[in-house]
Amino acid sequence: MKIAVLLSGGVDSSVALRLLQKEGHDLTAFYLKIWLQDEFSFLGECPWEEDLEYVRSVCKQAGVPLEILSLQTEYWDTVVTYTISEIKEGRTPNPDMFCNSLIKFGQFYDKIDKSFEKVASGHYAAVEKANPSDLGGLQRPTGGLYQLKRSPDPVKDQTYFLAYLTQHQLSRALFPLGRYKKTEVRKFADEFDLPNKNRKDSQGICFLGQIKFNEFIRHHLGEKKGDIIEIETGEKKGSHEGYYYYTIGQRSGLGLSHGPWYVVKKDVKNNIVYISKENKSERSRDNFEAGRFNWISGHKPAEKNLQVKIRHGANFYNCELDFTDEDTAQVKLETPDQGIAPGQFAVFYKDELCLGGGVIL
C-alpha cells in the first residue's frame, strides 16, 4: 500500500515506520510542525528542532522520503483554543484527545494526497474490521464497520486518546504497533539500530514540549490577583496570581505556612481559590454525568454494562451507563474513584473494544 507515516522523533513511530518498510509498503514520512515554540523563543532552544533531527536521521537510515508539514494555524484554531478555554473555565483539559481526532487523523487527512491509502502512526492500538455476525442489529456502514481494539500492553495502550475518531478516520488509520508490548518495540529499535533507539519517551502535553504549563498559561491568560481563603472559616490565608494556575487537590506551590494545605475549590467568577487542611478531592465518588459523546460505531452501545477509563493508564472500572437523553448519561462505577474532574474524558470499553467516549460534566 501507499502509506503516509506520521513521525514524531520518538522510538514508537520510528519502529512503526521500519515494520511497514519490512512489509514492503510504499512509504512517505511526515513530520507535523505543531509546536507553539515560535512565540516562546525567549525561553530558549526549541525542542521540535531536536525531534526533527531524529526524524531526518531515521528517514535517512531507512531511505524513506520525508515531508515537513506545518499545521500550527490549524492546531491553534482547534486544540490550543480549546485548552485555553477549558483552563479559563476552571476545568481539566485533555488536548491530546483532540490532537488525534482534529489534527493527526483530521486536518492532516485533508492536506495529503488522496493516493495515500493509509495514515500510520506509532500509537499502541489496533484497527480491525468487524465480522457482520458481531454487529447485532447495527446498520453496517459501506465498506464494513471499523473497530478500535486495545493494545496487549495495558500501560502503554493509547485507545483512550483515540476515542474520538470516526468511522471515516479509522478506515484510513493504521497502527503497526497494535499487537506489541513496549518491551518488544524497544527490542525492534535495537534490531533496526535506530538513531533514536535510546531516546526516552516524551511526557506532558503534546504541543508544549519543554515549556512549563504555567509559562503557557501566563503567556495567554496573564496574572489576575485574587484571594486564597480557608473554606471552613472564610479566613483569608494569602493571595494568588490567577485561579487557573491551580488544580483541585493540589498541595505544593501554595507558598503558605502552617500546612499542609490543599486546593479544594475554585470560584472562577470571583477569582477565589479555596483551601483546606483536608484534601476533599480525595473523597471518592462512584457516579458522574457525561455528555458530548463520540461513538466509534456511529451508534451508542446497546448494552448498559461496560468498562470505563476516566484517565489514560491501565486502570478500568466496571460501570453502568444510563442515558438520560440522546447525548447525556449517568455513569455508575462499581468501585469509587478519587479523581473525577469536570472536563476530563470518560472512555468506554466492551472487553477489548474501545467504543468511544464522552466528557465528564
Find the catalytic residue in 46, 59, 206, 354: 206
Domain that holds residue 184: 2-191
**What is the structure's pLDDT at 72?**
81
Cell numbers given for 361: 460534566
Q: What percent of the chain has pLDDT over 90?
A: 58
Write out the chain in H/E/C secondary structure: CEEEEECCCCHHHHHHHHHHHHCCCEEEEEEEECCCHHHHHHHCCCHHHHHHHHHHHHHHHHCCCEEEEECHHHHHHHHHHHHHHHHHCCCCCCHHHHHHHHHHHHHHHHHCCCCCCEEECCCCCEEEECCHHHHCCCCCCCCCCEEEECCCCCCCCCHHHHCCCCHHHHHHEECCCCCCCHHHHHHHHHHCCCCCCCCCCCCCCCCCCCCCHHHHHHHHHCCCCEEEEECCCCCEEEEECCHHHCCCCCCCCCCCCCCCCEEEEEECCCCEEEEECCCHHHCCEEEEEEEEEEECCCCCCCCCEEEEECCCCCCCEEEEEEEEECCEEEEEEEEEECCCCCCCEEEEEECCEEEEEEEEC
**Do 135 and 77 share a structural domain?**
yes
pLDDT reported for residue 284: 77
Mean pLDDT of the chain: 87
| C-beta separation of 352 from 152 below 8 A | no
CB of 264 closer than 8 Å to CB of 232: no
In a domain, 290, yes or no: yes
In a domain, 199, yes or no: no
**DSSP-derived pairing of the beta strands 262-267 and 305-309:** unpaired
Helix 213-221 / helix 81-88 crossing angle, nearest 10 deg: 80
What the block records as the C-alpha cell of 334 is 462499581
Q: What is the pLDDT of residues 10-33, one digit of tens each?
A: 999 999 999 999 999 999 999 998
Quote the Cα angle for 55-16-315, to 5°: 110
Are the beta carbons of 199 and 10 closer than 8 angstroms?
yes
Residue 13 lies in a domain: yes
Q: What pLDDT does 221 receive?
A: 87
Residue 264, domain member (yes or no): yes
pLDDT in tens, 162-191: 999 999 999 999 999 999 999 999 999 999
244-268 pLDDT, tens digit each: 988 887 887 788 988 889 998 899 9
**Residues 247 and 310 grouped into a single domain:** no
Number of domains in the chain: 3
- Dump pLDDT digits (tens) for 79-129: 888 888 888 888 777 888 888 888 889 889 889 988 999 999 999 999 999
- The pTM of this model reads 0.84
Residue 45's pLDDT band (cuts 50, 70, 90): low
pLDDT value of residue 103: 87
Residue 37 pLDDT exceeds 60: no
pLDDT of residue 42: 44
Same domain? 13 vs 122: yes
253 shares its domain with 328:
no
Q: Is residue 202 part of a domain?
A: no
Q: Buried b / exposed e across 40-74, counting CB within 10 Å, b at 16+?
A: beeeeebbbeebbebbbebbeebebebeeeebbeb
Read off the CATH number of the domain in which 336 is found: 2.40.30.10
Instruction: Specify the range with the lowest mean pLDDT, choosing from 105-119, 136-150, 311-325.
Output: 136-150
Nearest-angstrom CA–CA distance, 293 and 346: 9
Using the predicted structure, report yes or no on whether residue 346 has a pLDDT greater than 70.
yes
Q: Are residues 184 and 45 in the same domain?
A: yes
- Both 42 and 136 in one domain: the answer is yes
Residue 280: pLDDT band with limits 50, 70, 90:
low
Other beta carbons less than 10 A from residue 115's beta carbon:
8
Q: Same structural domain for residues 320 and 351?
A: yes
Q: Residue 209 falls within a domain, yes or no?
A: no
Tell me, yes or no, whether 216 lies in a domain. no
Residues 10 and 142 in one domain: yes
**Does the pLDDT of residue 315 top 50, yes or no?**
yes
Q: Judge if 129 and 64 occupy the same domain.
A: yes
pLDDT band at 41 (very low <50, low <70, confident <90, very high): very low
pLDDT of residue 239: 94
Q: Is 339 within a domain?
A: yes
Residue 99: active-site member: yes
pLDDT band for position 204 (cuts 50, 70, 90): low
Let me know whether 48 and 111 are in one domain: yes
Residue type, 108: F
> Do residue 255 and residue 179 come from a single domain?
no
Q: Is 354 a residue of the active site?
A: no
Has residue 202 got a pLDDT over 60? yes
Q: From the candidates 46, 59, 99, 319, which is the catalytic residue?
A: 99
